[in-house]
Structure 1
Amino acid sequence: MAEQETNEMSFLEHLEELRWHIVRSFIAIAVVGVAAFLYKDILFDTIIFGPSNPDFFTNRLLCRAADLYNLPALCINQSKISFQNILMSGQFTTHIKVSFIAGLVAAFPYVFWEFWRFIKPALLQEEQKHSRGAIFFASILFSVGILFAYYIICPLSIQFLSNYQVSDKVDNILNLGSYISTISSIVLAGGVIFELPILIYFLARVGIVTSTSLKKYRKHSIIASLLLAAIITPPDVISQILVCVPLIILYEAGIIIAKRIEKKRAKAELEVYK
């Protein structure tokens, strides 16, 4: 049914088509999630708790830099962090939740492909031609965002939040659910944020945004980037800058993308009038 022309399908047929794309996406997420559930040690000890361990790649790299440049503050997450679970079913439900998130992250290229198959028939042939590689680039950007958040933002967030104290009389004993929620939100936010150029590409293709309008609101985008960085990161300047800078770069990349689309459109219109 995905190959049918949009104008030949009724509204209910579109809903039925969408339903099956969603069902297949959930099946893919479930399959990967079950695999992640079975490999509990790798999922938790290596991946989830990795950024909190002293031997984590980023932590080791920063400690080497601290020794090299005599800056002890750079050496982070060197103390063992204790986690606690206060709910009877807390660890089991956390295991299921994390497995689902892992399935979503790993199956993202397939999920995006499913929704792309649903949207693609509604595009004109010329639009489909210019949209080639959308799945590849969306998957690459999502993966880069995930890795950036995991290897850069997460260790810094853990260092700041686990050591912050309102008083010496209060010890930090981290709740397992709170830790998982923090790591998950940071990583997923990183993946979504890095999709900004893809979003701008499609908005520019349909004429909703232009390079001129993006330039006009450049200052507003910087403020929005700062606010978004403040929301998804701990309240320390370094983490906020590390998130804000890529956002600004991605926005500038979006301007370049929009400008290229406008040039191609102008060229195509010129050829039509010749």
Structure 2
Amino acid sequence: MDEMSLVDHLTDLRKGILRVLVVLILSMIVGFIGAEPILEYLKTAEPASQITWNVFSPWDAISMYMKFAFIIGLVLTIPMILFQIWSFVRPGLLPIEQKAALLYIPFAVLLFLTGLAFAYFVIFPLAFNFTSGITRNLEFTETYGISQYFSFMFNILLPMSLLFELPVVVMFLTKIRLFNPLRLRKARKFAYFGLIMTATLVTPPDVTSDILVSIPLLLLYEISVLLSSWIYRKQLAENMACEEEYGGSLSQ
């Protein structure tokens, strides 16, 4: 394995960032095309279908269009981002680890989309209905601006989508030997606390919503521990096989 200097690493990092930016710009062109039909769908779906849309600034419509184009472009760029991360750490991996880590990319994209769907169809309606219920109970008039509505939605969807990447991140870090299941089990109580706190931050302040979000996050952590254990056992078996092979050859 050829050693790379710090300058080489920084050069590769710069090239990777430039590639990601190029793909992001191209993906945003697709985003500009897809923004309007997606926006129309979201406006007619629950709970948005019950809202009279308002804009409070001449820039609101343009700003929202740009945000949708950027988010669509970002989602389309995720495979490229993951591939560039893999390319950056690849020189420090063994050939078998390089192939295994590359296989994580499709699963990472799938988990991101799963988290996005869970956040949109489960968490977001809970949060919106909770806040809307309080507004009605206080006898306030619900007048929603399109920018405020979708900003509220994005602030829930994006963090949850990233949290669903936890199993892949743990598997990858275990593969490059930064994590192992023993450390994950020791850190379980702290991880649980952090995940539950995160669940309370992205959901309305009621126990039902907190539980509905906390349970999937805790399950993701336990799945991460199981996957880390599986990879760790394979690493131990490979190490033992290597020691037996070279140990036996040295003793002859």
Which bracket does the TM-score occupy, shorter chain normalised? 0.7 to 0.9
Residue in 2 that maps onto 1:142: 112
Find the partner of 2:191 among 214, 221, 236: 221
Match of 1:41 in 2: 36
The 3 A distance-change label for structure 1 pair 39 and 197 is closer
The amino acid across from 1:250 in the alignment is: L
1:3-42, aligned counterparts within 5 Å? 7=3, 9-42=4-37
1:163 aligns with 2:127: no
How far off is 1:258 after superposition? 1.6
- 1:168/1:267 Cα in 2 relative to 1: closer, same or farther (>3 Å)? closer
Matches within 5 A, 1:1-274: 7=3, 9-47=4-42, 50-53=45-48, 80-165=50-135, 168-274=138-244
- Are residues 25 and 6 of structure 1, via their aligned partners in 2, closer, same or farther at CA, if it must alter by over 3 Å? farther
**How many percent of aligned residue pairs carry the same amino acid?**
29
In 2, Cα distance between equivalents of 1:146 and 1:273: 45
TM-score by length of 2: 0.86
Q: Distance in 1 between matches of 2:82 and 2:173?
A: 17
Q: Kindly tell me: are residues 49 and 21 of structure 1, through their superposed partners in 2, closer, same or farther at Cα, counting changes over 3 Å?
A: farther
CA distance in 2 between partners of 1:47 and 1:166 (Å):
23
Residues 236 and 102 (structure 1), Cα distance of their counterparts in 2 relative to 1, 3 Å cut? farther
* Higher alpha-carbon deviation: 14-23 or 162-171: 162-171
What residue ranges of structure 1 are gaps of 5+ in the alignment?
55-79
Distance in structure 2 (CA, Å) of the matches to 1:15 and 1:160: 48
- Of Structure 1 and Structure 2, the greater helix share is in 2
8 Å CA contact 1:51–1:158 kept in 2: the answer is no
Do the aligned residues in 1 keep the contact of 2:35 with 2:68 (CA within 8 Å)?
Answer: no
Summarize deviations over 1:197-233 as a string: whole Å, max 9, x none: 1121122233333222222232332222210001112
- Report the CA distance shift for 1:10/1:216 in structure 2 as closer, same or farther (over 3 A): closer
Aligned in 2, Cα 1:210/1:10: closer, same or farther, shift over 3 Å? closer
* Aligned counterparts of 1:48 and 1:242: Cα–Cα separation in 2: 25
Please report how far the alpha carbon of residue 248 of structure 1 lies from its aligned counterpart in structure 2 after TM superposition. Answer: 0.7
